[in-house]
Structure 1
Amino acid sequence: MKAFVHEFGETKIKDMADPFADHGQVTVSIRTAGLNRRDISIPKRRGDEAAALILGSDGAGIIESVGEGVTDFSIGDEVIINPSLQWYENSDAPPKGFDILGMPDNGTFTEKIVLPAEQVEAKPEHLTWEEAGVLALPALTGYRALFTKGGLKEGDTLFIPGAGSGVATYLIQFAKNVGAKVIVTSRSADKRQRAKELGADIVLDTNSDWTAELENETIDLVIESVGRATFNRSLEVLKKGGRIVAFGATTEDTIDLNLRKFFYGQYQLFGSTMGSRQELRAMLKHIERFKTHPVVDSTFSLDKANEAMNYLEQGKQFGNVALVVSE
């Protein structure tokens, strides 16, 4: 089978041995896969001496074979892959043993993958293959940050610095689904317009004066994934006693925090990473109930995976980037 791997400092297409579904496992013939920022960072972290690893955390496809003991799935079932490994029930933090598919285990940028049957879920019927392939990791990340950690509810006002990421597009839609007000920022006029079309109530230029622009708004929750460039600016517009959830840092991941100002403001700060299978299933019910569609910015064929990685690294996308593995 063909796969997109990182091997000895290079990312490339390579022929790999077909995997075999053992007891409790299923083989999934991948139709589409989704790129995430971790796919860009992994080759940088592995160095030049590491042997071949198939990249990719997100994917969707069709069950091709099942191992002994598998009763919940059959050959021909359409499924999405849960990239959150060994985290089953919701908890305050991931349990010991938690990992994300795509390192150290082989990932989804391949024609076939073998996984424990507990790592696949039925594909929502209203989604296209491209939509299903980019769903799990960013949507689960957004769902946990928004609801489990952030406690968003109807009537709340949500602030999202940076409107173009895959996670941000889910945050906007999930928040609007439950009746929240959504404010986003972007340096790009095009991304601001697209966020508005997706449902954002207020869109701001990232370079504008947020405090002045939002002086008449009461922001209950901030979802932060940018880091140093926006964290303290986000804190400035958050209401006293408000909640801020951080799940990433696309700029520098260290910040200067005025601790006295923070505790006098009674702010609440939460960290969040991915999510449990329980939350994934809740997220799937949510998108099925509201018929939510992932935003697919662009698609690339598997043999153009390096181009897709470069495109994502440049940050030009609005939403998710998909790899079409098979038609």
Structure 2
Amino acid sequence: MQDLPKTMKAVVTTGVGDYGKLDYRDCPVPKPGPGQVLLQVLAAGVNNTEINTRLGWYSSSVREGTQGTGDGEERSDGGWNETTPFPFIQGTDCCGRIAAVGPGVDETRIGQRVIVRACMRETGFDSMKTVWLGSDFDGAFAQYVSVPDAEAFSVECDWSDAELASIPCAYGTAENMVERAGVGSGMRVLVPGASGGVGSAVVQLAKRRGATVIGITSAGKRDMVRNIGADRVLTRDDDPLEALGAESVDVVIDNVAGAGFGTMLKVLSRGGRYVSSGAIAGPIVELDMRDLYLKDITFIGCTAWDESVFPNLISYIEAADIRPLVSATFPLEKIAEAQRAFSEKEHAGKIVLLPPM
């Protein structure tokens, strides 16, 4: 086992507010407890959730899209589950190397390169209760992080650390939605926001299952979405109802919501499924109940990852069935620049932070 330092560099999020709430500073290196492993963080992806949590966006009092908050108001319901545990270390995506193990963990795991299942079902997969790395307890925006041994998955591949760090949150969320929706061969799947981290993962994972995939993105990202497997690409200026026709798709996997929500139900076929794990264009939507009940549409909300999701992803990586999309990397201390670039939505795929080695 390597000699471990007593302190590490980390980004501590001190409360709800702007980039000034991101404090890059020295912190104690955590000690792995019983059943835990200590990871040296090799790379950590940037996600909507870290920004949303810092802005208090999950509060029911917020009605605008994910880039529309940031007034600095503390909200007791602004976190995923309970009050956000400020000050704490965010970072949901983690690629790391096991540096030490706690009591009860096999010491032969030391040295393994792993990715962390960020969505943890502590009371078992029969319950939808979750805790999330970097949202409910300290995460990967640091040089070291402790996680449960069972949530650190070894992966054998030639991907870079940054590429592996692009996988957990986006692809875990996407695979969970694709799985829950029952996507299969011959189905027509519509993916708004197809160039983002989750959307681009959905495109690849739905294509892997034999679906016909239609992506929606900005005009400048059409080629990128087509290159990762979309059979057809619409731009945000297109009217999906006019372009595709009523009742033309079997599944909509939508993390955009907002004003376009009603149209998604119009293009869904009878018995179709609408699946969501986000609402970047706005959480408050107008629902025509007649579309829901007259067409026998099923709504599927997805936050808690099912048991098969992460083992599936590991197998896809090792079989080269999916490919990572890293748009840019930033040093950990440049987190504000990275989140600003993320929020501008000019990138395709993932932005990843690299801690000092």
The TM-score, its normalising length taken from structure 1, stands at: 0.92
Structure 1 letter corresponding to 2:183: L
Pair 73,142 (structure 1): closer, same or farther in 2 beyond 3 Å: farther
SS of the residue 2:346 aligns to: coil
Match of 2:110 among 53, 57, 75: 75
Residue type of the alignment partner of 2:185: E
Matched-pair contact (CA < 8 Å) for 1:124–1:132: no
SS of the residue corresponding to residue 16 of structure 1 reads strand
Structure 1 letter corresponding to 2:273: R
1:184 to 191, 196, 215: 215
Match of 1:127 in 2: 159
1:53 pairs with one of 71, 88, 110 = 88
Deviations 1:188-232 (A, max 9, x none): 222111101111110011221222211398311100111122211
Structure 1 window deviating more from structure 2 (271-280 vs 14-23): it is: 271-280
| Structure 1 position 2 matched with structure 2 position 13 | no
Alpha-carbon distance in 2 for matches of 1:315, 1:89: 36
- Secondary structure in 1 matching 2:270: strand
CA distance 1:89–1:181, change in 2 (3 Å): farther
Consecutive unaligned residues of structure 1, counting only runs of 5 or more, are none
2:37 is matched with 26
Alignment correspondent of 2:196: 165
SS at match of 1:171: helix
Per the alignment, do residues 320 and 124 of structure 1 end up closer, same or farther by CA in structure 2, a change over 3 Å counting?
farther
Does structure 1 residue 37 correspond to structure 2 residue 37?
Answer: no
Map of 1:94 onto structure 2? 128
C-alpha distance in structure 2 between counterparts of 1:72 and 1:140, whole Å: 27
The AA in structure 1 aligned to 2:353 is L
| TM-aligned CA deviation for residue 310 of structure 1 | 1.0
Please state whether the residue corresponding to 2:177 is helix, strand or coil: helix
Q: Tell me the secondary structure at the aligned position of residue 42 of structure 1.
A: helix
Deviation at 1:181?
Answer: 0.7
Unaligned runs of 5+ in 2: 1-7, 58-71, 75-84
- Summarize deviations over 1:68-112 as a string: whole Å, max 9, x none: 210275211111111112357555x623xx111113311100000
Aligned to 1:231: 261
Distance 1:230 1:48, change over 3 A: closer
Letter matched to residue 335 of structure 2: A
Post-superposition, which runs of at least 4 consecutive aligned residues in structure 1 deviate over 6 A?
Answer: none
Whole-angstrom CA distance in 2 between matches of 1:73 and 1:235:
51
**3-state SS of paired residue (2:337):** helix
Q: Measure how far apart 1:161 and its partner are.
A: 1.1
Partner of 1:146: 178
Distance in 2 (alpha carbons) for counterparts of 1:209 and 1:72: 57
Percent of residue pairs bearing the same amino acid type: 29
Contact 2:31/2:38 (8 A) holds in 1: yes
- Match in the other structure for 2:352: 322
C-alpha distance 266-161 of structure 1, shift in aligned 2 (>3 A): same
Post-superposition Cα deviations, 1:235-277, rounded to whole Å, max 9, x if no partner, equal: 1111122111111101221212111232111111111114134
* Alignment-mate amino acid for residue 80 of structure 1: I
3-state DSSP of counterpart to 1:260: helix
Q: What is residue 213 of structure 1 aligned with on the other side? A: 243
User: Is the CA contact (8 Å cut-off) linking 1:126 and 1:291 kept in structure 2?
Assistant: no
RMSD, aligned α-carbons = 2.1
Task: State the distance in 1 between where 2:158 and 2:128 align.
Answer: 30
Return the alpha-carbon distance in structure 2 between the equivalents of residues 23 and 120 of structure 1: 14
